[in-house]
Homo-oligomer: A and B are copies of this chain.
Amino acid sequence: MSRSAELTPTVENYLKHLFHQQQQSPDGWLPTGRLAACVGVTPGTATTMVKTLAEAGLVDYEPRGGVRLTSAGERHALGVIRRHRLIELFLVRELDLDWSEVHDEAERLEHALSDKVLERIDRLLGYPQFDPHGDPIPRAGGHVPTTEYQSLAECALHRAFVVARVTAQDAVFLQMIQRLHLVPGTRVVVEARDTAAQTVTVRPRSRPALNLGLPAAAKILVTAPG
């Protein structure tokens, strides 16, 4: 996880998005069009960049087939994600920013921190495993702690769970989660699920029950309490 190569912020962002998207598609190959969409550039731009990344040995590229991170690319991607998530936690814990607003800050800072500063932040925070959204923080060596989750869209009814992770970065959505008292750490019970109406009725510990749409519920991941 050294930062010897010195990739540009642009390249780091491509790698990071590539990594996140690969987690989805199970064969690992990502169409360039999808990469373009999530990086926010036109398809042609992504194709060009992918060829550059392939030259640098960061991705494998099959024209008209898709892209996939090489192990070098994955290593760099994990480094960026590690910086991003440590920064987010730092901003929330030490500078008292709201968890809904740290993502965009981290998006810029993740390209500007040295390994040394990151190590100090890691130490200051006590070598944390999860960021404010419950996302796992990759270790310096590249290892990512994995946890088994279920989402509120699929977990058992009438059983106690704890919100462990909210897979969203949109500030408005996160603020809603906060308003609804569904932030990570909260104990919840799903009281009902209406597949036809696509709604879930959730009751946060010692709070009135509330209704969520299925897509929103799917973004709230829970684990068994304890």
List the interface of chain A (C-beta within 8 A of B): 91, 94-97, 101, 105, 108-109, 111-114, 116-117, 120-121, 124
Contacts and interface: CB of A to CB of B under 8 A. Distances in A.
A96 B105 CA distance: 23
Given A111-B112, A112-B111, A112-B112, A105 B117 contact: yes
Contacts of A108: 112, 114
Nearest to A121: B95
A137 to B, nearest CB: 18
Given A97-B116, A105-B114, 17 more contacts: A91-B117, A94-B94, A95-B117, A95-B120, A95-B121, A96-B120, A97-B117, A97-B120, A105-B116, A105-B117, A108-B112, A108-B114, A109-B109, A109-B112, A109-B113, A111-B112, A112-B112
A99 to B, nearest CB: 14
22 contacts: A91-B117, A94-B94, A94-B124, A95-B117, A95-B120, A95-B121, A95-B124, A96-B120, A97-B116, A97-B117, A97-B120, A101-B116, A105-B114, A105-B116, A105-B117, A108-B112, A108-B114, A109-B109, A109-B112, A109-B113, A111-B112, A112-B112
